[in-house]
Amino acid sequence: MNNTWNYKEDLQDPEAFEKIEKQYDIKIPEKLKDFVAEHNGASPSECVFDSEGGEHLFGAVLSFDSGETCKTTIYQAMDTVQNKSVIPFAEDPFGNYICLSMENGKILFWSHETDEMTVAGDELESFLKGLHPIKKMVKSYNL
């Protein structure tokens, strides 16, 4: 099954990436720019992923528009994570971020509770292809 991305919002600012790069003195890789341009603010229907720390939910792609007021933005995430070696590009429903490592291209899960990062994927494309549906809970009854 192909993943469906819901609630996408078009980037309003054609210079969004350049503004972020300048403000945070970073270089956003083209693959990440392409992904965000296609999925800005969107949530995937298949939203479960694994990291070295366990199973997690992919909530939504961060908004890369500076004027966004309804969704979490990369600006909020960058100020929270405070680590220029990673670029947060998505969030889970619990205040944690999914980041791209600028050092090796790996996908990292950043926990707001511990400020630690665990590897969630070798690179962006395989991470996204590895998203899978939530398993339905089946109740077992002994009759």
Which helix or strand (DSSP H or E) is residue 120 part of? strand 117-121
Cβ–Cβ under 8 Å, residues 142 and 74: no
Q: What is the pLDDT of residue 3?
A: 87
Q: What dihedral do alpha carbons 92, 26, 129, 60 form, nearest 10°?
A: 30
Two tokens, residue 12? 């309003």
Q: What is the pLDDT of residue 142?
A: 59
Q: What is the pLDDT of residue 62?
A: 96
Residue 91 makes CB contacts below 8 A (sequence gap 6+) with 59, 60, 62, 72, 77, 97, 98
Does the pLDDT value for residue 16 go beyond 70?
A: yes
pLDDT for 74-94, tens place per residue? Answer: 999 999 999 989 999 999 999
pLDDT for 97-133, tens place per residue? Answer: 999 999 999 999 999 999 999 999 999 999 999 999 8
For 51, other C-beta atoms within 10 Å of its C-beta total 19
**pTM reported for the whole predicted model:** 0.90
Q: What is the pLDDT of residue 139?
A: 53
